[in-house]
Copies of this chain bind each other. A is one copy, B any other.
Amino acid sequence: MTNTTNHGRGARSTKHAAIATTGERTFTRPEKISHIKGADGGASRVGETLEIRGWARSVRTQKERAFIDLNDGSSISGMQAVVNEGSEAWDIINSGVVSTGAAIAVRGTLVASPGEKQAAELLVTKLEVIGIADAETYPLQKKRHTLEYLRSIAHLRPRTNTIGAVSRVRNQLAFATHKFFQENGFLYVNTPIITASDCEGAGEQFQVTTLLNELQSSAGPSLEELAKAEARVKSQGDVVKAIKDAAKAGNASKEQVDAEVAKLLQAKGDIEALKSTGASKSLPINKDGSIDYSKDFFSKPSFLTVSGQLNGEIMACAVNDVYTFGPTFRAENSNTSRHLAEFWMVEPEMAFANLNDDMDCAEAYLKYCINHVLEHCDEDLEFFEKNVSKDNLRERLRNVASQEFARITYTQAVEHILAAKKKFEYPVEWGSDLQSEHERYITEEVYKNRPVIVRDYPKDIKAFYMRLNDDNKTVAAMDVLVPRVGELMGGSQREERLDVLERRIEDVGLEKESYWWYLDLRRYGTQPHAGFGLGFERLVCYVTGVENIRDAIPFPRYPGSAEF
């Protein structure tokens, strides 16, 4: 039987249940601080004896008592644990082992707090140290750290207020996503991550391969071997130089010179041969010099998906409304605060639906998410309001959730921009893409901080699969614009007419053959369908006010960085 007594630094013993038990077995996790505090900060639980396990965020020692700011990850404020002088716990505190970051278990009585910061606090009767955190070396001392520094210690940063709060809000946004779609009868589907399908098209994609694995294991020459070979070239070079001088002086024949030159060439050739035992020569190559992908795992060049949409359409054309929620990838070499190489997307796809249904769904979904976090993450949002967004964050969110989004056409949007007194960095005319500055102008100024859905974009700036409108100039696409961010979601009704879709594929220079299965969806039982995509980290940024998208995902991937 396992015994989990923690040897060394502090004692903690855990009583085990017998291996085989009878009777009903129940699963409950120990009650967490957020639950103890509930809606009234714990006031209604005063008098109860509780045990809490968590980490010390800070320890303040006064003359007659000590205060531990105890956090178990369930809330930002944690629980104040009070240790009175003379207790056993007091001695432990004074030995110095309970410092910032230490894992501890405290037992005591919940009492009304005389302090203003909390309604209740735990008067400690028993304190156990589970794991220390050396104050000399622990990178997260109480002082403030920049978000940039924290990214370099991504394994510790979720222990901070900001990243901890992001984790909780992100969790609630994810669950709200599932709840919203499940309540509306959508099926959650997993679209593929690796794809050898030709129709993902032009995006900058990561390649997935096992070809390089073998090259790595078949090591090239060692540096030592190479150094030796280079030394031989150098010394033979000296020999050649000497014999040429000798030949000039008549002391060596042409044949002797040629023989030494030949040795030099041989030595040089040896280096090349040595190098060629390394990686470069081992990639399997076709006769024409291209890579022989029949040797790769999937027998074809394979990539990480840039969107689940086309596969989502397959599912919607079979089991009706669906949504995906999974990772997508872009190998774009952009080091900005708005781009990640790996990010999570939410992509619903509705059968028997048009662009109005799509806009209704996007608006309802966003409002649902916002209402959900307003209800479940108030304390975290308050923290972001004070420390991160430094504006009226929650009011702004309530504002978005409570009013109808404006809906205008792209043509109307362009008219608004052309009529503006404001100077823009990028000029706009009908047919050009809207930049962030234009989008924000429309939602923030024209519509006074009201979200705006812009629809019916020129076909030439949108994807081929978007449904061609009757004007033959625009497509049934829509973007949802929100204050401070600009575009948050984008979607479209899909072209369901086989002949129109085939023409559009040709018009944009793609190959129809690559899209055989996508076209089959229009060949057999086609129907109008529509969907949209939401970059999940953008939603996290929008709701929390966090500016850099690298702080909206636990382990961000961007050029040069895939650590942890």
Contact = CB atoms under 8 A, between A and B. Distances in A.
8 contacts: A2-B469, A72-B351, A158-B319, A192-B564, A195-B564, A207-B208, A275-B289, A298-B561
Given A216-B290, A223-B288, 13 more contacts: A2-B469, A2-B476, A27-B364, A101-B525, A131-B526, A164-B319, A167-B318, A174-B178, A190-B554, A226-B289, A297-B331, A300-B562, A315-B554
Given A493-B4, A562-B300, A562-B302, A279 B290 contact: yes
A549 to B, nearest CB: 13
A7 B499 CA distance: 10
A2 B54 CA distance: 57
A279 B283 contact: yes
Contacts of A470: 2-3
B6 A315 contact: no
B557 A194 contact: yes
Contacts of A279: 283, 285, 289-291
A105 B528 CA distance: 12
A288 B226 contact: yes
A119 interface: no
A194 B27 CA distance: 34
Contacts of A341: 194, 297-298
A67 interface: no
Interface string A201-233: 000111111111101100111110010000000
Contacts of A357: 29
Describe A's contact surface by its main secondary structure.
loop
Q: Which of A196, A220, A521, A525 has the most CB of B within 10 A?
A: A525
Contacts of A280: 280-281, 283, 285, 289
Contacts of A6: 496-497, 528
Contacts of A25: 360, 363-364, 404
A45 interface: no
B291 A216 contact: yes
A461 interface: no
A288 B564 contact: no
Nearest to A291: B279
A537 to B, nearest CB: 9
Interface in A128-145: 130-134, 137-138, 140
A11 interface: no
Contacts of A426: none
A277 interface: yes
B562 A192 contact: yes
A350 to B, nearest CB: 7
Interface stretch (A16-24, A81-89, A249-257, A391-399): A16-24
Interface in A465-521: 467, 469-470, 476, 493, 496-497, 499, 517-518, 520-521
A319 to B, nearest CB: 4
Interface in A309-335: 311, 314-315, 317-321, 326-327, 329, 331, 333
A455 interface: yes
Contacts of A211: 212
Contact of A4 (B17, B320, B354): B354
A356 interface: yes
B559 A298 contact: yes
A27 B363 contact: yes
Interface stretch (A109-117, A405-413, A430-438): A405-413
Contact of A193 (B1, B193, B355): B193
B301 A216 contact: yes
A187 B29 CA distance: 13
A525 B102 contact: yes
A532 interface: no
A361 interface: yes
A168 interface: yes
A563 B197 contact: yes
Contact of A297 (B407, B408, B525, B559): B559
A213 B207 contact: yes
Nearest to A187: B171
B197 A562 contact: yes
A359 to B, nearest CB: 9
Contact of A557 (B298, B321, B523): B298
A73 interface: yes
A79 interface: no
A553 interface: yes
Contacts of A134: 523-524
A424 interface: no
Contact of A167 (B226, B283, B302, B319): B319
A149 to B, nearest CB: 15
Which residue, of A155, A280, A470, A518, has the highest number of chain B Cβ atoms within 10 A? A155
A96 to B, nearest CB: 15
A167 B318 CA distance: 10
A186 to B, nearest CB: 8
